[in-house]
Amino acid sequence: MDAILVIALAILEAAFILTGKGLVRVLSLGRWRGEALNGHEANIHAAAGALAFVLDGRRVVTVAGLTLAGAAFYGVLLTAVFWLATSW
């Protein structure tokens, strides 16, 4: 049972990160980018706990920032769905 929970949380986190990466690219019109999922740019160029940093004049959103953006998107989406479902 614990293994299933770990796998489910890993899939959920991956969904948050990939959604956040897409949102950052679309909402910034390509001016910002998400950090590579296997990269260590934030460890080298950002302060500890940073959600984003500037590298070569371009804003880079860290994996933590991408996760937060994806979770916020799904939170707003879930709230809108519940609000629409109860307003009928």
Task: Tell me the per-residue pLDDT of 25-71, one tens digit each, with 9 for 90 and over.
Answer: 999 998 999 998 887 888 888 888 889 999 988 999 999 999 999 99
Q: What is the mean pLDDT of residues 10-32?
A: 95
pLDDT tier at 11 (50, 70, 90 boundaries)?
very high
DSSP the chain: -HHHHHHHHHHHHHHHHHHHHHHHHHHTTTSSEEPPTT--HHHHHS-TT-SEEEETTEEEE-HHHHHHHHHHHHHHHHHHHHHHHHH-
- Write down the pTM of the prediction: 0.88
* Residue 75, domain extent: 2-87
Per the structure, how many domains does the chain have? 1
